[in-house]
Structure 1
Amino acid sequence: MAQLELKPKSSTSKLLEINVFVLLFAVLAISVILTYVIPAGEYARVDVNGRSVVDAQSFQFTESSPVKPLGLVNSVHTGMEEASGIIFFVLIIGGTFGILTATGAIEALIVTLSKKLQNQEKWLIPIMMFFFAMGGSLMGMAEETIPYIAIMIPLAIALGFDAITGAAIVLVGASVGFTSAVMNPFTIGVAQGLAELPTFSGAAYRIGIFVVMYIASVAFVYRYAMKVKRDRGYGFFGNFEGKNATEMFSGDAVLTTRHKVILSFFALNFCVLAYGVIKYGWYITEIAGLFLLLGIIIGIAGKLPANTVVDSFIKGAAGVLAGALVIGVARAIVVVLNDGHILDTILYYAAALINEIPPALTAFGMLVLQTIISFIVPSGSGMAALTMPIMTPLADLVGVTRQTAVLAYQFGDGISNIFVPTSGYFMAGLAIAGIPWVRWMKWILPLLAIHYAIATAAVIIAQLIGYGPF
């Protein structure tokens, strides 16, 4: 693979690179200030079929109890402690993916599929986008997609397409899966846990969403790619401008029998996971244990030395450490709002505001709110930790099912991954391709409109049909 020299970033892009922890600490500080401004209040909670539900008629204002300045820093540790189960869940799964990466099975599969499709350009887009969509939907592929952009762009150019096509196959494909999140442990797993929903429940509806979004996205990318193939001047080539496309693609990874065995174990893991969740009601502890066992098995199958397995696990966990810590810091915000007794007051006023919206559009209002928050918190699991403790009782108050509230979160988080400049892996992908953010936005804007139209229809239908189980 030819080495890519990334273009220096402009001062404008530097202004957009505000660290997510800086943003969260700013929100945390504002939350402390709000405990001095917003009147304290609380709802009574009642137990309904084993889950805590807000009694909509029980709100009352209480004595003010603002959070002291020291409470700001203390809340971070408390937030980490309260979210520890989810944090370690994310770290264990990240570690397992680290072992899988170390075996070389994923890289070999990508390169092998790409080479087989070199003379079948019409199939490149739907097949490779399906692969990345499945990766996003089942294993939360996001940052992991970055290396494959450097593989797909040269291949796309070699087949007569351009850099935007190659980048879109990876970025848009993974976004489709991340948005539908059929069994994504980092988003739907975390959000449903916080909403006290059965893990991965409601999957049939999300599979339908996956199919619709996948077809719409493939059609959009394919239509553009064919225009470039007919007229090269229509395309954009970024860092690959003027290079010999055939020479650029030189991936030499080979899909061996051992790789096939490893990938078979990986596929079997999801079958066992689905059975356990449906049959025995497995939750994050059991799922984390299953992934840890998978890591050990694929390490043995890949004939990795024990030290390499451990090192790869640590490396994989380190890769998701920032996202895991975001969960704890986001939880600290909820801790402050609870300690200041203003969370229920915010829910009270939010419910009054949303009740002014026609009932059929209530869930859409949640989608809009989640989309706005995604600009500030680009981490899927972190955003779930921040918003679901608020959105869950709010859903109960305004008559929206919790499953629909989770769906609104999925869309708000997933679609934004391929256009918000605070999304680190997305901006890194554009840098590899040499595609300016403004150029990408001009290209993808119609597709974003399609995705949000699908999302709007999906949450409205979900609300109308009482998408559940509750």
Structure 2
Amino acid sequence: MAKFKVPHTLTLLFSMMVLAMIATWLVPQGFFATETLANGRTAVIPGTFTLVEERQYLTPWQLLTAIPRAFASAQDVIFFVMILGGVLSIARATGTVDALIGRLLERHGKKPHMLIFMVVFCFAMASSFIGTAGEYIPFVLILVALCRAMRLDAMTAVGMTVAGYGIGYGVSAFNPFTVLIAQQIADLPPMSGNWLRFAIFVPFVLIGFHHVWSYAKTVLADPANSMVADLPCPLGDKTEVHYPTLALNHKLILASFVGTIALVAYGIKVHGWYLYELSACFIAWGIFAAIIGRISADTAAQKFIDGAMELTTTAMLIGVARGISLVMEDGQILHSLVHGMSLPLSYVGAEAAAVGMLIIQTLLNFFVPSGSGQAYVTMPLMVPLADLLHIPRQVAVLAYQFGDGFSNMIIPTNAVLMGIIGIAGIPYGHWFRFCLPLILKLMLASSVVLVLSVMFGYGAGLQPAM
């Protein structure tokens, strides 16, 4: 029997688009009425689900036209990734990255577990407080290089990055893009219920750290155990044996990088910046790095183009991944799926329904990978359902948080995830096998937290007057 081979990630994503098109032929088409809120976003109105009078069949031609439309829809993420690739190529040309790796190896080369914990913890903190996600992409190749120098692999680098990102979103204290929006829709005080989120933050981070470190130890014991041993390293086959000294110009470039990250965080929080502004910040940093690193304009231009070209495959994956949800929207089955999944919850007890909300939010994140977008689609339905089943609304918000945050780590429609694994040269099939056990652990822990939250009335005192 021939050994089963996981298809290329692009093949896998296009196959999902085809399945989505077929689903639009079979799943009842319908929609909820919507209303425009004060902030300009659109939310569904509970109890208004209506089937369409006449089914519209998507054709293979519409499937094909959805691909360039998906690229246009995801252009901000695509160009952000390519610009970052170009800018980081300039930074590598200055020797700053190699010098930084050398210094880190001097201090932590024999403590890879400390590196993994620090990355997971710090990334989770940033995602929890300010909702960072795509901002981690610049760190991926640096962590890949650092892991390779520590006799680890690219999977370890991506594992610590994505674990921090996903767990941070899942147990966020007050992520402005998820928690605050969900609480606003649920008519709960902003940032309420933070005591529980703070309490579970470290235990969930430890779950992520344990998973990545357990894998890393097997790679350290025998490199043949690496899940990406059959793949080329994204940094090439050259073995780096000498790292330059961290000179003054390298320190200035690194300090400006930290300053750029701080500026980005400030812009997101205060001015509502997103990927266009973030790209501009990194372009400015790239220019500064070229000047301080004494790279000629022509060399910097060529390095920028080389770095962007290296991420063309990643850009393709992001565009096609967006096409899956676009086909669902065109076929008018997205609201049908939400409606159909929510119905069974009205027939079970409060504790089981809370876990059911988690499962539904997890599944729906595949179709609506935007955290804020998912809140506007699902929370208007989950809040009245929670009231009906005597589940505190704060628990419904927590279920949404868990479902959105943790599933971001594995769903192929998440553009940030596809960007991260694409830069690291890891096919989606390999990543799925690594991440699935972690998702199951986090889902089990989340279910326990939700059941206990219902039993002890978490947030019950904050219910708005009916």
Q: Shorter-chain TM-score: what band? A: 0.5 to 0.7
From the superposition, tell whether residues 235 and 112 of structure 1 become closer, same or farther in structure 2 (CA, over 3 Å): same
How far did residue 355 of structure 1 move?
Answer: 4.9
Residue 390 of structure 2 corresponds to none
How far did residue 151 of structure 1 move?
Answer: 0.7
Residue 414 of structure 1 corresponds to 409
How far did residue 342 of structure 1 move?
Answer: 2.3
Query: Match for 1:26 among 15, 35, 39?
Result: 15
From the superposition, tell whether residues 111 and 211 of structure 1 become closer, same or farther in structure 2 (CA, over 3 Å): farther
Question: 1:139-178 maps to which residues of 2 (within 5 A)?
Answer: 139-140=136-137, 141-142=139-140, 145-153=143-151, 170=157, 172-178=159-165
Find the aligned partners of 1:462 and 1:305 in 2 and give their Cα distance: 60
From the superposition, tell whether residues 38 and 457 of structure 1 become closer, same or farther in structure 2 (CA, over 3 Å): same
Query: Match for 1:66 among 39, 43, 57?
Result: 57
From the superposition, tell whether residues 362 and 221 of structure 1 become closer, same or farther in structure 2 (CA, over 3 Å): closer
Q: Which amino acid aligns with 1:253?
A: P
Residue 318 of structure 2 corresponds to 327
Find the aligned partners of 2:314 and 2:410 in 1 and give their Cα distance: 18
Residue 300 of structure 1 corresponds to 291
Residue 130 of structure 1 corresponds to 118
Residue 387 of structure 2 corresponds to none
Query: Match for 1:341 among 320, 329, 332?
Result: 332
Q: Which amino acid aligns with 1:279?
A: V
Question: 1:53-92 maps to which residues of 2 (within 5 A)?
Answer: 53-62=43-52, 63-92=54-83
Does 2:381 correspond to 1:397? yes
SS at match of 1:46: strand
Residue 7 of structure 1 corresponds to none
How far did residue 300 of structure 1 move?
Answer: 1.8
- Check whether the contact 1:100–1:106 (CA below 8 A) recurs between aligned residues: yes
CA offset digits 1:170-199 (Å, max 9, x no partner) = 4543343233457xxxxx99999x99x9xx
Does 2:37 correspond to 1:48? yes
- Check whether the contact 2:358–2:403 (CA below 8 A) recurs between aligned residues: yes
How far did residue 329 of structure 1 move?
Answer: 1.9
How far did residue 366 of structure 1 move?
Answer: 4.1
Find the aligned partners of 2:355 and 2:287 in 1 and give their Cα distance: 47
RMSD: 4.9
How far did residue 405 of structure 1 move?
Answer: 4.0
Q: Structure 1 vs Structure 2: percent identity of aligned residues?
A: 22
Residue 379 of structure 1 corresponds to none
Number of equivalent positions:
399
CA offset digits 1:204-237 (Å, max 9, x no partner) = 99998775455555577889999x9xxxxx9445
How far did residue 344 of structure 1 move?
Answer: 2.1
- Check whether the contact 1:142–1:425 (CA below 8 A) recurs between aligned residues: no
- Check whether the contact 1:176–1:210 (CA below 8 A) recurs between aligned residues: no
Question: 1:70-469 maps to which residues of 2 (within 5 A)?
Answer: 70-117=61-108, 121=110, 123-127=111-115, 129-131=117-119, 134=122, 138-140=135-137, 141-142=139-140, 145-153=143-151, 170=157, 172-180=159-167, 211-215=202-206, 235-236=221-222, 238=224, 250-355=241-346, 358-366=352-360, 368-369=362-363, 384=369, 392-399=376-383, 405=400, 408-414=403-409, 451-453=442-444, 456=447
Find the aligned partners of 2:423 and 2:87 in 1 and give their Cα distance: 23
Find the aligned partners of 1:88 and 1:144 in 2 and give their Cα distance: 20
How far did residue 15 of structure 1 move?
Answer: 0.5
CA offset digits 1:300-338 (Å, max 9, x no partner) = 222222223223333333344333333322332333223
Q: Which amino acid aligns with 1:369?
A: L
How far did residue 413 of structure 1 move?
Answer: 3.4
Find the aligned partners of 1:291 and 1:209 in 2 and give their Cα distance: 34
Find the aligned partners of 1:46 and 1:361 in 2 and give their Cα distance: 28
How far did residue 71 of structure 1 move?
Answer: 0.9
- Check whether the contact 2:178–2:372 (CA below 8 A) recurs between aligned residues: yes
From the superposition, tell whether residues 206 and 169 of structure 1 become closer, same or farther in structure 2 (CA, over 3 Å): farther
- Check whether the contact 1:134–1:177 (CA below 8 A) recurs between aligned residues: yes
From the superposition, tell whether residues 424 and 113 of structure 1 become closer, same or farther in structure 2 (CA, over 3 Å): closer
How far did residue 124 of structure 1 move?
Answer: 4.8
From the superposition, tell whether residues 38 and 117 of structure 1 become closer, same or farther in structure 2 (CA, over 3 Å): closer
Any stretches of 5+ residues in structure 2 without a counterpart? 128-134, 170-174, 185-189, 227-238, 384-392, 461-466
Find the aligned partners of 2:341 and 2:26 in 1 and give their Cα distance: 16
Find the aligned partners of 2:407 and 2:286 in 1 and give their Cα distance: 31
SS at match of 2:35: strand
Find the aligned partners of 1:341 and 1:225 in 2 and give their Cα distance: 44
CA offset digits 1:380-421 (Å, max 9, x no partner) = xx9836x9856751343223878964653332233799xx9x
How far did residue 252 of structure 1 move?
Answer: 2.8
Q: Which amino acid aligns with 1:361?
A: V
- Check whether the contact 1:35–1:66 (CA below 8 A) recurs between aligned residues: yes
Find the aligned partners of 1:324 and 1:239 in 2 and give their Cα distance: 30
From the superposition, tell whether residues 383 and 221 of structure 1 become closer, same or farther in structure 2 (CA, over 3 Å): same
From the superposition, tell whether residues 239 and 88 of structure 1 become closer, same or farther in structure 2 (CA, over 3 Å): closer
Find the aligned partners of 1:272 and 1:327 in 2 and give their Cα distance: 26
Find the aligned partners of 2:306 and 2:452 in 1 and give their Cα distance: 42
Does 2:19 correspond to 1:35? no
- Check whether the contact 2:33–2:48 (CA below 8 A) recurs between aligned residues: yes
Find the aligned partners of 1:267 and 1:305 in 2 and give their Cα distance: 24
Find the aligned partners of 2:345 and 2:212 in 1 and give their Cα distance: 37
Find the aligned partners of 1:303 and 1:213 in 2 and give their Cα distance: 44
Find the aligned partners of 2:205 and 2:330 in 1 and give their Cα distance: 43
Find the aligned partners of 1:135 and 1:333 in 2 and give their Cα distance: 28
- Check whether the contact 1:266–1:294 (CA below 8 A) recurs between aligned residues: yes
Q: Which amino acid aligns with 1:307?
A: D
From the superposition, tell whether residues 351 and 129 of structure 1 become closer, same or farther in structure 2 (CA, over 3 Å): same
SS at match of 1:78: helix
SS at match of 1:67: coil
